[in-house]
Structure 1
Amino acid sequence: MDCVSPSETAPAWLPNAARLYLAHTEGGCSLRELARMEGCHPSTVLRQIRRVETRRDDPLVDEALTRLGAQARTARSRKETPPMTATIRVDRPTADDPTIQREARRILRRLNEPGAFLAVAHDMEKAAVLREGPDGHTSRVAVVERSVAEVFALRDWIGCRTRGRVTIYEITSAGRAALKRILAGDEARQSGQAEAGSPYGDQHRDWETATDEKAERIRYNRAESPLSILGRRRDKDGKPFLAPDLVAAGERLREDFEISQMGPRIAQNWERFLTGGQRGGFQPGSGPLNGPTDARERVVSALRDLGPGLGDVVLRCCCFLEGMEQVEDHMGWSARSGKIVLRIALQRLKLHYERLGEDAGLIG
């Protein structure tokens, strides 16, 4: 019986060790056959297969491999397909799909923030990114499809910290390196370079740059947003300068901003939404919205409600991730006044989301 190369029997995003594992356990390929196709010693293949087998105590890894194995057996059993030549079909997005790359950019950035982790419940179709604040308050800052989380686990971008009814995952060093490569490639494309300069070198750095509407380069630490920094500061009475519910409102706006894929270059003309009256789009009471287009409508609705000034400060601080000094300089405000305006803007934003209720979207 002939053995098919692992590259022909698994989706493109699957790591090579998992390909070998499925080819051996589901495809019936012997270690010697796999070693011959890979051009290595059988003991090397055996080590990779055993490494994958030991990871099956991870719920996401086990679910993904079980599903892939079942699809392989179904494909092989089809009468019109010769034995051992069926390919493993995947009915969920692959890593080559822009959806996976976009989700990796969005979710890994969130998991790279201090106190962030991914929670996966056994009976839930989606996973949630939660972040624990210095006061012990935990807020939900992002959601992701469970199938996407499975890809992250198989690629070793997230690792299991605790298991139970709710399993907790954290970003790994491999996940941070992947995030830096993705963002380095984004920066190269935005700057007009034909190729990313050195994505594997940039993965060892922890800074990021963005471009605002004046084509100015903004450099900041991607591991922490200005909002989370202000959320840790205390006033003279020892209370947080920004209450957890205000931070949650700003994070909700940022989540929609990232899902909408707007970016500074698109959002730079957002003022037209504030001065042109209602032009359709999202209306309170129209029901929950999902996807990039609907997320953009939610951002526009929130900025329109805040109006110029307050809308500017939340957009720049929560979405563009500009620091307070840069916001004050851009807006022409006096020093240390920006954070006061930001707090007022977040209070208005919180009221905006409270009025929408369940129509505000997934993050609450």
Structure 2
Amino acid sequence: MARADVRSIRFVKALMPADTAHRDEHGQYVLETATKTARLPAASVTRLISMGVLHGNARHCRPTPEAPNWLARQRSSATAYADQHRRLSADADSIVRNLDESPLARLAAPGTGGSHAFLAPHQVEAGERLRQLVERAQLGARTTMSYDASRSIRARSAPGMADPGDIAIDARRRLDDIARALPPDCAGVVLDVCGLLKGLQVIETERGWPRRSAKLVLRIGLDQLAAFWGLSAEARGVVARGNHAWFEQRPHRFE
């Protein structure tokens, strides 16, 4: 189904549930009330009338009983179109995310000529986990990530601040553990990029670093963060520590 133009959709929505638009001297149908204003050229209104979305004539128009269903189809069409142009993923908490909005998406994409991506999948996964953790911690954009490891917990008791709740407190404790486990520069860059969505050039400017250095520190930090969470480039099972029989004596073979 071809999707209608945005102006037509907005016009019909403005008329809902039963407002009437009148044609003015410029050939446009106009709805103007204390709370909303909508305009649409006569040619577009004629098209909507022919589709059964509007009732009308050369002087006025209003929505038909079919108008709500038409609007619903337009919304469905818009959602389907958007889904074709984004990569969605749901985490363990059923939070749906657009992977193309990830701050690591560009670095995780293969390079030109089929070259390997700058970041490996396990490093990207570590960064996305950290991103979710920062969201749960409810840390605002004003929080700096080159911080004293205990500060984020103390902040919840500052005067005038509401208690963030058990989930946020637990997330902040886990962020403190990460800040202590990683080297300071690595922790700062990883948290700035994945948590506060800062650009690498901004980080380099703030720290007075040479160009492209933040990119390298980010990869090192993500690799250490992945190790912190037990993620690796290859799946590894538990090392066996000898065979244990369920019976007092195992047969040498089964017939």
What TM-score comes out, normalization by structure 1 length? 0.36
Q: Which has the larger radius of gyration?
A: 2
What TM-score comes out, normalization by structure 2 length? 0.49
